[in-house]
Structure 1
Amino acid sequence: MKKSKNYVGIDISKLTFDVAICNSESKYKYFKFANNHEGFILFSELLNASESICIMEASGPYYLKLATFLSESGIGVCVVNPLIVRRFSQMRMSRAKTDRKDAMLIAEYGKTERPNLWQPEADYVLELKQMQAYLEQLNKNRTGYIVQREAFNQNPIKSKTLEKSINSVLETIEQEIKQIEKRMELIIKTHHQEMFNQLKSIPGMGAKTSLFLIVISGGFSKFKNHKQLASYVGISPRIFESGTSVKGRSKICKMGMSKIRAMLYVCAWSAKKCNKTCKELYDRLVEKGKSKKLALIAVVNKLLKQAFAIATKKEYYSVKIN
């Protein structure tokens, strides 16, 4: 007789992780371990590898070492989006907020939803993700220095030394951004050359946007359809409507990545002119009285749909792909 899996909830932080293990009487036992190799070993000794599945949230970089250790030890691991667990908590009207309660809630989510097992990503994928995070920080720093420079320029008394210093820092950041983007493109071309070329064949889709779509989607392997990709990027429509008493305008859900979203908007401006399907969609919505902003968001969604179809079908753009 096949034994049922024992779902173990893990609430992880920078220095420690709390564990909730359910016993045969459906009662939880709680443990706390150091978030290091010694703590991983002590934790794994409590588990039956063939019967246990550990559930943890993708909490920044803190989960990765433990998830990798457990996976390499033959213990099932599921890494879930913290937002999904939060929604699960709200549905159960759970208000308590402690590390123990969080670990138990994560275990309950695992038992109820049975998420897919996590697999360690290839080294080049991890490198791309690290570069992407670093690039986002560089762009934030660049924006901050540009704003600072503009503020200084409004001052009637300017410090030439300070102005020179800011320009020097900005130049260094620009060079670093170019080097990182060049390295990312080289990695993508090494592992996803054909997909990269296919995405670039979409009218309006630039090389940089194609590159970042491959990075964030794991080569379009992380999502089952274009709607999941759109939700991840942060452009899926969110409609507030309940019965007849509460009605609201559709809004896009911006819980996603601001950089790739901004890049897609730029692509959409081009696509509404040179991409036949996108142009027809944009013109049709504007003619119906929709705002140009909403029509542009629709074009972004259309571009993602085209990109997903091209990447999964492994073919170049044609008008049939819409």
Structure 2
Amino acid sequence: MVTGIDCSKDYFDISVLKNHKVVFEGRFNNGLTGFKALLVHVLGSHITMEATGPYYFQLARFLYENGQKVSVVNPLVVKRFSQMQLSRTKTDKKDALMIARFTAMTNPKEWAPPSEEILSIRNLETYIEGLKHRKGMLYNQLHAFQAAATLSEELQEEIKMELGSYERRILDKEKQIEALINKTYGELSQNLRSIPGIGPRSVSLLIILTDGFKMFESYKKVISYFGLAPRIYQSGTSVSGKNHICKMGMGPIRKVLYMAATSAIRYNDACRELYGRLRGKGKPHKVALIAAVNKLIKQAFAIAKTGTVYQVQIS
């Protein structure tokens, strides 16, 4: 028996299949009362839901803590499965059914909630991103006032004080993250820092987004998760386009890793050799840089799994 769940902010739809036939469909409140009402219908089932923002997490954790087999999958994976099934209907009820069919055909990996430390760090990271966004908006406002020469000295000082406050709060939260990582993943953090090109920010994001690399069995899955897997548009000999990366991962980690790779192609032997070889073959800078990013991920994955530090090796 398999169950597909489509979550939204206020409710979730479920579809239960047994021997590929629908045996139950329903809609429940996305809260504790709905969770408890759901449980009787899905006992012993393999339950799958999409990682839709924050709306799935409490339900996934509730089911996990009640001993159920739970999987949480990337929405894009289910979307592609739906396209392969030639499905054109888009409703919450149909989405739940499609997720159930996806579960029956692919048997996705079981999910377990991240540690409390990882959840705390992720919350701090999200808060920092909000602070940076608000600081950026305020800085742009200050720049516009200055360009128009309409800003009083009094208001300018007040805005600068507020910008300073944002900077101090961001620095304070970054120190909290560093302390939490050192406490929980101290050895892993130091080992990852031994990779030329990898800095504190890269280490932080790599650890919290992979739960210390425990979420993945191969570096290729990490690459796909971050949205850095190459995707080639080609059909026979008649259709051919540029290579792209499949952006099904997260923007912030990609930006940080691009910066790390820019440093790595100068100081990391393997990344420098790979980047130079691809550029020598006429590949664009961005293509070669993404290859260097993926090389860094491969190195980080190997170090995390073996518990060793970086070893100089050209490959």
TM above 0.5, yes or no, is: yes
Q: Distance in 1 between matches of 2:228 and 2:4?
A: 31
What is the correspondence of 1:1-322 to structure 2 with a 5 Å cutoff?
6-22=1-17, 26-47=21-42, 49=43, 51-320=44-313, 322=315
Identity of aligned residues (%): 43
Q: What's the CA shift for 1:124?
A: 0.9
Are the structure 2 counterparts of residues 92 and 155 from structure 1 closer, same or farther at C-alpha, using a change threshold of 3 Å? same
Alpha-carbon deviations, 1:223-259, whole Å to 9, x = none?
A: 2222222222222222111100011111223332222
Q: CA contact under 8 A between 1:238 and 1:250: conserved in structure 2?
A: yes
Structure 2 segments unaligned to the other structure (5+ residues) = none
State the one-letter code of the partner of 2:237: T
C-alpha contact (below 8 Å) 1:23/1:29 kept by paired residues: no
What do the CA deviations read for 1:154-197 (whole angstroms, capped 9, x no partner)?
21322334433332332222122112211111111111111101
> Which amino acid letter does the alignment assign opposite residue 7 of structure 1?
V
* CA distance in structure 1 between the partners assigned to 2:98 and 2:267 by the alignment: 49
* Inter-CA distance 96–193: structure 2 relative to 1 (3 Å threshold): same
C-alpha separation in 1, matches of 2:83 and 2:257 = 32
Q: Give the count of matched residue pairs.
A: 315
Q: Give distance in 1, aligned partners of 2:262 and 2:48.
A: 42
Q: Closer, same or farther in 2 for the Cα pair 1:254/1:139, shift >3 Å?
A: farther
Describe the SS at the equivalent of 2:21.
coil
Over residues 29-85 of structure 1, what are the superposed CA-to-partner deviations in whole Å (9 max), with x where a residue is unaligned? 3211111111111111233x3x31221111111111111111222222111111111
- Asked whether the 8 Å contact 1:309–1:321 carries over to 2, the reply is no
Cα deviation, 1:128-159, whole Å, max 9, x if unaligned, reads 22222222222222222222222222213223
> Which stretch shifts more, 75-84 or 239-248?
75-84
The AA in structure 2 aligned to 1:197 is Q
TM-score by length of 1: 0.91
In structure 1, what residue type is equivalent to 2:183?
T
- Separation in structure 2 between the aligned mates of residue 12 and residue 303 of structure 1, nearest angstrom: 35
> Considering only aligned residues, what root-mean-square deviation do their CA atoms show, in Å?
1.9
Q: Give the direction of change, closer, same or farther, for the CA distance of 1:217–1:24 in structure 2 (3 Å limit).
A: closer
TM-score by length of 2: 0.93
* Structure 1 unaligned blocks of 5 or more: 1-5
User: Which one-letter code corresponds to 1:84 in the other structure?
Assistant: V
Instruction: Pick which of 285-294 and 105-114 moved more.
Output: 285-294
Query: Is contact 1:310-1:317 (8 Å) kept?
Result: yes
